[in-house]
Structure 1
């Protein structure tokens, strides 16, 4: 997996674990794979290795909006969930 395009622009260091993101359309998010609005119109299922006693914050951004070729808008926030217990996103705020 190539993190060169998001480090250090979006995050400072390479993550030690991976987040799995999938949509009801059947598509799974993979590094470098562009997805269409139709594929990602519904809330995704997001999982990661988590401490069940900890609270997490989930932030989903587009790091190079509107496109990789012309990232004029830069980082765009799409979704934010706070106080996620473990990896139970539906119980976050």
Structure 2
């Protein structure tokens, strides 16, 4: 049996669930392994079915980009969480529904990782994903869209809840404004009919990682 890379499994799952090209560009190739861990449980596998209760609280994010391994400070990242199936997959008039936009994610520095690998005590409090042994990223900024967990309407079928991780441009003045950059505020109705990739193009973000799970309404 030929060896299958995790990136190939991800690409196959995205196509199987028709997330390409509706949410994820057809030419996307992941450059990071994205691990999302909800409180009270280990990380989910790509496309795994969860309950809305299991995914109700804001998760921790773990990833490592080899391009960040070097003497310079690692890049910062924005993670986005959307539901393209609002109010249902058959009627997506409100999709993508914007559940979370968190800029300013920063993976641990190479120095911190070296200290961790060597068993030395580091000044940085590094928390580790038990599922992948990857360090969790830290948040350096407030959420541009505060977390709101899945809440599919009863009888609305399966929803494909998708996380997209973007590398931010290395600019000291990079900010995300809810009104200007997200097409409105963060009230329930204002999160409707959004597009993550259009937002990314506007802000100069580069898509590097994707994962998703499903919840039945």
| 8 Å contact from structure 2 (residues 63, 137) kept in 1 | no
Q: Which residue number in structure 1 is paired with residue 80 of structure 2? A: 59
Match of 2:105 among 69, 73, 84: 84
What are structure 2's unaligned runs of at least 5 residues?
A: 1-8, 108-135, 143-217
**Cα RMSD (Å):** 2.2
- The DSSP-based 3-state class of the residue aligned with 1:3 is helix
| Structure of higher CA gyration radius | 2
From 14, 26, 33, the equivalent of 1:3 is 14
TM value normalised by structure 2: 0.37
| C-alpha deviation, 1:71, in angstroms | 4.8
What displacement does 1:92 show? 3.3
> Which structure shows the bigger proportion of residues in helix conformation?
2
1:27, distance to aligned residue in structure 2 (A): 4.7
Q: Could you list the runs of 5+ residues in structure 1 that have no partner in the other structure?
A: none
Cα distance in 2 for partners of 1:40, 1:9 equals 23
Asked if 2 retains the 8 angstrom alpha-carbon contact of 1:85 and 1:92, the reply is no
Does structure 1 retain, via aligned residues, the 8 Å contact 2:79–2:103?
Answer: yes
Residue 67 of structure 1: how far off its partner (Å): 4.2
Tell me which protein shows more strand as a share of its residues. 1
